[in-house]
Each structure stands twice: as structure tokens, then as C-alpha cells.
Chain A
């Protein structure tokens, strides 16, 4: 059997949907994050630049009109809560922390000193800052304002977290949609599985439900057409077997009647004539059995129902006409199964016994014993759950590798040396089919002390107290 992929079709479909949803939502999230970020940043920068320009104007006015200390003027400016001001005047820094040699990046410094208001984002100790620089009018001075971007970073962080969550949810929804869709898509497939399982179990009339889906309908049609063709074929085969055996019945009736005329005149024949008559008689009898087996088996194949009624197995065995023809056989009936019944057709069950006896006579060196015993399990009320009927012979036994095969139709055991005619025909196959039709099992095992033991196990129906058991039970002859 082929190893199944680790992912089923449904798993793959679901994964594809989830992956698609993930890619799409991630791309959308990334795009919206980028857009949000650049918008917020440019807003922040614009307002920062406007503010610094205004501060610069105020400072320049202050420097020009009053002779106040630049440091005091700088302190006098109202810095934004999250900003601080730096003044670079005549090569000297005001407002900078002590020891801050290079408070603004060199690039920004050069641009502002060249007379352009400018800005730059920097990262200091893990937090982002926006530095806006404006040249002051009339003086060799530049005002820098350093804005903390922590708040903006926080906003962006929250935004990105929200976007990631949305992307995750979208992926999950994608997976769920994939799962549901694949289930919908694969429903025809699971119908096919259910239906073909039914067909394999022998319910050949199983069909796929009609579909109006234009994609599915042709498949349903062809599948149903296929099973119909299969059923027709099997019906035809079964009918053919039934027809053949039926057609053989009339000539067999003639053969049988003519044979009985000849048998009545056996004494009038010479030695060779008698020998030929015996050969003919044996073969006609065998032929008749084969035809009946074939008809019965084709009836079972066609699923013809048969009536079931409670049948006492012990009584069936003890009154069996086929067993009565073998007077030397030991028959043992366990007292605990004397009145136990099975649901069945007594003539068909007799056929099972007859075929097993015939098999033992023909291939097993003769029947040594027939035993009716309880199965190993019992119900709460102490009655057995099944009844076993065992037919034992003293032949060579059946090798383990043949124990299934001999129940097949026209099977031949692998040991061709046992008997050239071990083509056992349909006898054991019919036994198996009949026992199965009664809900039971049949198998062959070794008989302790040599020989084969064919065991039929039939589910017990109940106990019939009135079921008479003829006495005495036959036992082994001394």
C-alpha cells in the first residue's frame, strides 16, 4: 500500500487558505503601517519645524532688541513638554548638557549653518528623537529643538501590535474558511468513500446521491454508471450460474431415473458392466451434488433471502440423514447445548453438515467423530453465546497454508500429492457461504492425535426447553 502523504488533501487546502490569508493580511498590515508611520512622522515634522521657526523668530528678536544673555533668553523660551532647545551662538552651545561635545549631528549642523532650516531623526540610547535646526536671522546663530519621538513610537508600536493581531485573526479566519470550504468541496469525495465502502461490503445497490452541481454531476453520473455496470455484471454472472445449474437439472433427472433402472438390473450385467455401472452411478451422484451446490451458491450470491426459524442444532445433528448413513461415527452432544437453538434454515444447516461429512469421507479418510459443544463464552444466564459443531477425520489433516484456501470455490490444496482429485468442488465453499449467511464461522484445525477437525460456530439464539433430544446419544463404538 502506498504511504499516505503527511498532509491530506483537506489539510493542504486548509493550509493554502491559511497561508493565502496570512500573506494578504501581512501585506495589508505592512502597507497600512508604513502609510500610518510616514503620515504621523510628516505631521510631527511639519508641526515641529513650524514651532522651531517660531521659536527662532522669537529668539532672534530677543537677541536683537535686548542685550540679554543668550542663555537666559533660551531659558525664557517656552519649550514643548517633550522637547528641549539648544542654541549655537558664535561657536558656543547654550542649553546643552555638560560634556556634550557634539549635541547635533555634523550633517545637520552644516546644513543649518549654511542657512537652511533643516531636520534629522536620530536614535539616542534606544529612543528616537527629531532634531529641527533653524538659522537665526542676522546672527551667526542656530537654534535647534530636540523633540522626543517616544510618544509617536508608542503610538506606532500599538498600531503595529493591533495590525499584527488583525493579520493573525485573518489567518485564522482564512484557515477556518479553508477547512469549511474543503469540507464542502470534498463532500462528494466523502460520499464516494461511503458509497464505495458500501459496495465493497456487498451492498451493490448503493449509489451516490444526485448532484445539481455542474462540476460534480458528471462525476456522480459516471460513478453510478460504473457501479450499475458492476452490479449488472455480477447479477449476470450469478444468473448465468443459476441458469446453467437449472438447465442441468432436467438431464440429471433423466440420468438419475435411468440409473435407478440400471441399478435394479445390476445382477443381469457381467463383471465389467457392473463396474461401469458403479462408476457411472458414483459420478452421476457427485454431479447431482455439484449442480445443487452450484445452484445454492448462486442463490446466495444473488442475495436470495431464506426463512429462519429456531433450529435445535443438537437435534439437527442427531436426526441428520447424512449422518445416519455413517453408523460407525461417534456422535457426542454436550449436555449444555442439548436444547440450544440457532436462527436458521434446517435444511441448509443439514447441507452444511452433509458437505462436511462428505468432505471427511472423501478426503479425510473417513469421519471419526461429530461433536456438538458450547462455544467458549457464556451469557449472564449461563447459556453459551455460540454452538460449535465439529466434524473430525483421521486423514492427513490440512496444512496451515491451505486452511483458508480449501474454502474457496474449486480450490485445490497446495499438496497435489494428497489426492489428484482434491479439487473439492463447491462443497466447502458452500459450507462457508451458508455458515456466513447464518452469521457464523467455519474453520479447520488439527485434530489432536492426527487428522483434521472442521468446526462450524453458529451464534446461539436461545434455549428451547421443549426441543426434544433423541436418546441415547450415540457414542464411539467400542
Chain B
């Protein structure tokens, strides 16, 4: 089944040209000219709501991309790639903290964008059991349990909701408890970036993950920072 992408941008020329380019690559493309239109299109009550990936421009009139992403995350874990107009840290980090999975900076080349979309799709296939994730069927570290097959995570028996990227990141960390993962390694295995990828993506996702699996995200006990090296997951004990 074709992958359906929602392109959210207020510039009709960009929407149209991206639609043409992505359709040539085999994607099905829907367009939205504003954050409001995008949210309406993605409303779960909408029967035809299904979208595989959202390509969301941050600079939108009305509700901007950041707010749009935040509202979307309340009801959906659809993968979101934000489009930053400037590539400034505030934009990139802000977009990721609002819940985006990845970002591209204008102007981007179409192959660059499709590489990101493919990586996102592969991440989403964890539950298909295609073997790309190093997480075994079911892993347990302390009171944290992840099931690759069911795509679920429980903390002390209570299910917690993760986006696919967060799920994949946690899976990587849980596959080798106590091992230190450098940010570069995580960027490569989870996001499929090469050496030049932006490690801020990892940092923001680790922060988001902590909000969900830690009792106090400011004083993490499970997902720890190893200064100057990277991150590791440990059993916090009783």
C-alpha cells in the first residue's frame, strides 16, 4: 500500500512542487495550507484520517508548526518531519520538543527528503518484526518492559504511550542495558543518519523519553547521561 504523506505548508508552490516530486517517488500526497487545515485533516473522528507521515512547515500563519505538532501529539503518534526555514537551534529543538521525529531545513533536495521518509517508515515497522530493531520479542530491565511484537511498553505494569521513534530509541537502549551508546551511534541506528547528522535530535528525543519513563525527568534514574560519551539505560533497582 502506498505511503500517504500530508504536506503542510502555506506556500502553494511548495505544496504543488513537493506533491509532484513525491508522487514521482511513489508516495500519495495530501496537502494542507494551514495548521488548522492539517489538524482537521488529521482529526481522529475524520473517517479518512489515515496519514503515514506529516511534513510540517514550522512557519505557518495562524497556529504555527510548533503548536500544530503539540496538538497533534495529543491524539496521534503519526511520524512528523518538521521543515525548518532557518535551521536555527531554537527552531530545530523547538520542533523536536513539540513532538516531531525528524527535521529538514529549507531548501532541501528531494532525495534528502525521501531518505528521511524511508528511514521513518523503517522505524515504524518495528511491529512488523522485520528484524531491524535489535530489541528481542520481549525485554525487561527493572520494572520497564518492552514488547517488540506488540509494540507496547509498560512501566511497573502500566502501559505507557511512546511515538515510534521513542519506542525504537528505547528498544535500542534496552537491548544492551548498562552499555554506553554514543549519540552518533543512536543517530545512525535509530534515524539512519551518517556521521554528519545532527545529534541534537538524539538529545531532544532522550528528553522526551525521560518525560515518559522517569518519575522525575530532571533526575533520571533509568535513562542516564554519561558525560562526554552518550547515554545508557540501567535498572534503577527497588
Question: A interface vs B, CB < 8 Å?
Answer: 246, 249-258, 260-261, 264, 288, 291, 295, 315-316, 319, 321, 346-347, 350
Quick one: CB contact mask for B9-26 with A, threshold 8 Å, 1 for yes?
Answer: 001011001101100100
Partner of A256, one of B24, B85, B107, B196: B107
Across the A-B interface, how many residue pairs have beta carbons closer than 8 Å?
63
Q: Is the CB of A252 within 8 A of B106?
A: yes
A321 to B196, CA, bound (A): 9
Contacts of A253 in B (CB 8 A): 14, 17-18, 106-108
Main secondary structure, interface of B, reads loop
Partner of A254, one of B11, B195, B198: B11
Q: Is the CB of A257 within 8 A of B198?
A: no
Query: In this assembly, does B212 line the interface, its C-beta being within 8 Å of a C-beta of chain A?
Result: no
A321 to B14, CA, bound (A): 27
Q: Is the CB of A291 within 8 A of B107?
A: yes
Quick one: CB contact mask for B81-114 with A, threshold 8 Å, 1 for yes?
Answer: 0000110000000000000000000111111000
Contacts of B86 in A (CB 8 A): 246, 295
Partner of B18, one of A246, A257, A291, A350: A257
Q: Is the CB of A319 within 8 A of B194?
A: yes
A253 to B7, CA, bound (A): 13
A28 to B13, CA, bound (A): 94
Within the complex, what minimum Cβ distance (angstroms) separates A141 from chain B? Answer: 121
Which single residue of chain A is at the shortest CB-CB distance from B22?
Answer: A257
Interface residues of B in 104-146 (CB under 8 A from A): 106-111
Q: Is the CB of B195 within 8 A of A261?
A: no
Contacts of A295 in B (CB 8 A): 86
Given A258-B17, A319-B194, A350-B196, are A250 and B109 also a contact pair (CB < 8 Å)?
no
Within the complex, what minimum Cβ distance (angstroms) separates A5 from chain B? Answer: 52
Given A250-B11, A291-B107, are A346 and B196 also a contact pair (CB < 8 Å)?
yes
Known: A250-B13, A261-B21. 7 other contacts (CB 8 A): A246-B86, A249-B106, A251-B13, A252-B106, A253-B18, A256-B108, A260-B110
Within the complex, what minimum Cβ distance (angstroms) separates B111 from chain A? Answer: 8
Q: Is the CB of B24 within 8 A of A288?
A: no
Which single residue of chain A is at the shortest CB-CB distance from B112?
Answer: A256
Within the complex, what minimum Cβ distance (angstroms) separates B5 from chain A? Answer: 13
Quick one: CB contact mask for B183-204 with A, threshold 8 Å, 1 for yes?
Answer: 0000000000011101000000
Q: Is the CB of B196 within 8 A of A347?
A: yes
Contacts of B106 in A (CB 8 A): 249-250, 252-253
Given A264-B24, A315-B195, are A257 and B85 also a contact pair (CB < 8 Å)?
no
A254 to B20, CA, bound (A): 11
A295 to B107, CA, bound (A): 12
A264 to B107, CA, bound (A): 19
Contacts of A347 in B (CB 8 A): 196, 198
Q: Is the CB of B194 within 8 A of A288?
A: no
A253 to B106, CA, bound (A): 6
Listed A/B pairs (25) with beta-carbon separation below 8 Å: A249-B107, A250-B11, A252-B106, A252-B107, A253-B17, A254-B13, A254-B17, A256-B108, A256-B109, A257-B18, A258-B17, A258-B20, A258-B21, A260-B21, A260-B24, A260-B110, A260-B111, A261-B17, A315-B195, A316-B195, A319-B195, A321-B196, A346-B195, A347-B196, A347-B198
Which single residue of chain A is at the shortest CB-CB distance from B197?
Answer: A347
Which single residue of chain B is at the shortest CB-CB distance from A346?
Answer: B196
Contacts of A250 in B (CB 8 A): 11, 13-14, 85, 106
Given A250-B106, A252-B107, are A257 and B195 also a contact pair (CB < 8 Å)?
no
Partner of B85, one of A249, A260, A319, A346: A249
Contacts of A252 in B (CB 8 A): 106-107
Contacts of B13 in A (CB 8 A): 250-251, 254
A73 to B109, CA, bound (A): 138
Q: Is the CB of B194 within 8 A of A254?
A: no
Across the A-B interface, give the 7 residue pairs with the lowest CB-CB distance, nearest first.
A257-B17, A252-B107, A260-B110, A249-B106, A254-B13, A253-B107, A257-B21
A371 to B85, CA, bound (A): 35
Q: Which one of B11, B13, B18, B107 has the greatest number of beta carbons of chain A within 10 Å?
A: B107
Given A249-B85, A250-B85, are A257 and B110 also a contact pair (CB < 8 Å)?
yes
A82 to B161, CA, bound (A): 126
Partner of A246, one of B17, B85, B196: B85
A288 to B86, CA, bound (A): 14
A345 to B109, CA, bound (A): 22
Which single residue of chain B is at the shortest CB-CB distance from A310?
Answer: B228
Q: Which one of B17, B108, B111 has the greatest number of beta carbons of chain A within 10 Å?
A: B17
Q: Is the CB of B20 within 8 A of A257?
A: yes
Which single residue of chain A is at the shortest CB-CB distance from B111?
Answer: A260
A332 to B21, CA, bound (A): 39
Within the complex, what minimum Cβ distance (angstroms) separates A147 from chain B? Answer: 102
Contacts of A350 in B (CB 8 A): 196
A261 to B13, CA, bound (A): 14
Interface residues of B in 141-187 (CB under 8 A from A): none
Which single residue of chain B is at the shortest CB-CB distance from A296?
Answer: B87
Contacts of B194 in A (CB 8 A): 319, 321
A252 to B107, CA, bound (A): 6
Within the complex, what minimum Cβ distance (angstroms) separates B19 from chain A? Answer: 9
Q: Is the CB of B109 within 8 A of A261?
A: no
Contacts of A260 in B (CB 8 A): 21, 24, 109-111
Which single residue of chain A is at the shortest CB-CB distance from B199?
Answer: A309
A252 to B86, CA, bound (A): 13
Partner of B110, one of A249, A256, A291, A319: A256
Contacts of B109 in A (CB 8 A): 256, 260
